[in-house]
A and B are shown apart, each in its own frame.
Chain A
Amino acid sequence: MFNLENHKKKISKNPFATPENYFEDNEKKALQKIKSLPKENSRKIFYPLIYISGAAAAVFILFFSIQNTTEINQNLNSINLTSSDIPYDYFDDLTIDEVSENITVLDSSNYETIDYLLDEDISLELIAENYSL
C-alpha cells in the first residue's frame, strides 16, 4: 500500500525541469520589466498633483469670492438712503407696483414717501395693505 509519509523520505529528484538558463534569463527579464514600470508610477504621482493643484485653485477662488462679497456688503451697509434720496419725479411715470417695489427695497415706513403716495391719490388702505403699516 502506498503511503505518502514513507514516500516523502524517498524523494530525491525534482520532477520539474526548466529551459536552460531559465532563472538567469528570468532575472534579467524581470529587471527589464520593472525598469519600464516607473513611467506608470510617475503618472500615478502626476494625478495627485493635478488633484492637489485643482483643490488649491478652488480654495483660492472661494476665499477671494467670499472676501469680495463681504466688501460689497460692507459698501452697501455704508450707504444711508433717506427719503430725500428718492427721486420723486422719477415716480411720475411709475405704476403703484413699481413704486411699492422700490419703497420696499429702500424704506417702507418712510412717512415722506407715504405722503407722496397720498398726494398721488393712492388710498391709505392700499398703502397700509401693501406696506404693513
Chain B
Amino acid sequence: MSNPTEDNQIKAYLLAGEDEKAFQFLVSTYQKKLYYQIRRIVTFHDDADDILQEVLINIWKNIKNFKWESALNSWLYRIATNECLQHIRKNKKRSNQISADEYQNLLHADVFFDGDEFELKLQTAIAQLPDKQRIVFTYKYFEDLKYEEIQTILGGSVGSLKASYHHAVKKIEEFVNSN
C-alpha cells in the first residue's frame, strides 16, 4: 500500500507549511484504501463512512506529530484500526452479538453490498471472528501485508499474529464448508 512518491509529496507540503494541501493530497491518495480496509472490518457502508470521517479528522489533528521514521501507511492503518475497534465496542449492531443468520440477512438487504452468495457467506464468516483475528485476517488476506507490517499496526508478536491468522483461516473454512 505504501506510496513513497506520494508520501514524499505529503511530507514536502507539510515542511513548506502547506498543511491543507498535504491533507488534501493524503486524502486523495489514501482514502479509498482506508475506506475498504475499514469496510472489511465493519462490513456496512454507514459504519465505514462514520469511521472514515473520524479517521481523517484524527489524521489532520496528528499529522504534524508523525515522525516519518515509520511508513506513513502503517500509521494511517493504525489510526483506522483503532477507530474501528472503538466503533465496534460502541456499536449495538456488533457482529458477534447477533447470529450468523441475522447477519447474513442484514448483509443481503444492504444496498451497498454487491457480492454473490459465496461472498455473502465469506463476509458473514469473517464477521463472526473475534476482533483481533478479524483484523489480522483482513490485513493479511486482502491487503497482503507482511506480519512485520501488521505488527507495526497492531503491536504484539509476529508469532501471535501468525496464530491469529491461522485460527481465522480455519474458522472461516469451517464456516463456509458447513454452510
**Interface residues in chain A, defined as those with a beta carbon under 8 Å from any beta carbon in chain B:** 1-4, 7-8, 13-19, 22-23, 26-27, 29-31, 33-35, 37
Contact = CB atoms under 8 A, between A and B. Distances in A.
A4 B56 contact: no
A16 B31 contact: no
A3 B170 CA distance: 9
Interface of B: 20, 23-24, 27-28, 31-32, 35-36, 39-40, 45, 49, 52-53, 56-57, 60-61, 111-116, 119, 122-123, 141, 169, 172-173, 176-177
B113 A17 contact: yes
B53 A31 contact: no
B31 A37 contact: no
A31 B20 contact: yes
B123 A15 contact: yes
Contact of B113 (A8, A16, A37): A16
Nearest to A40: B61
Contacts, number: 78
B20 A34 contact: yes
A16 B36 contact: yes
14 contacts: A1-B173, A7-B122, A15-B114, A16-B40, A16-B112, A16-B113, A16-B115, A17-B114, A18-B45, A27-B31, A29-B53, A30-B31, A30-B57, A34-B56
A18 B114 CA distance: 10
* Nearest 8 interchain pairs by C-beta: A15-B115, A15-B119, A17-B114, A2-B176, A30-B56, A17-B112, A34-B60, A16-B39
B141 A8 contact: yes
Nearest to B174: A2
Among A3, A14, A34, the one with the most B-chain Cβ atoms within 10 Å of its Cβ is A34
A14 B36 contact: yes
Given A13-B115, A19-B112, A23-B31, 16 more contacts: A4-B141, A4-B169, A13-B114, A16-B112, A16-B114, A17-B114, A23-B35, A26-B35, A26-B49, A27-B24, A30-B23, A31-B23, A31-B24, A34-B56, A34-B60, A37-B60
A26 B116 CA distance: 27
Given A1-B177, A17-B112, A23-B35, A30 B53 contact: yes
B163 to A, nearest CB: 16
A34 B23 contact: yes
Nearest to A34: B60
A29 B56 CA distance: 10
A13 B53 CA distance: 25
Among A15, A18, A31, A33, the one with the most B-chain Cβ atoms within 10 Å of its Cβ is A15
A26 B53 CA distance: 8
A12 to B, nearest CB: 11
Nearest to B48: A16
B57 A33 contact: yes
Nearest to A4: B169
A3 B32 CA distance: 28
Contacts of B49: 22, 26
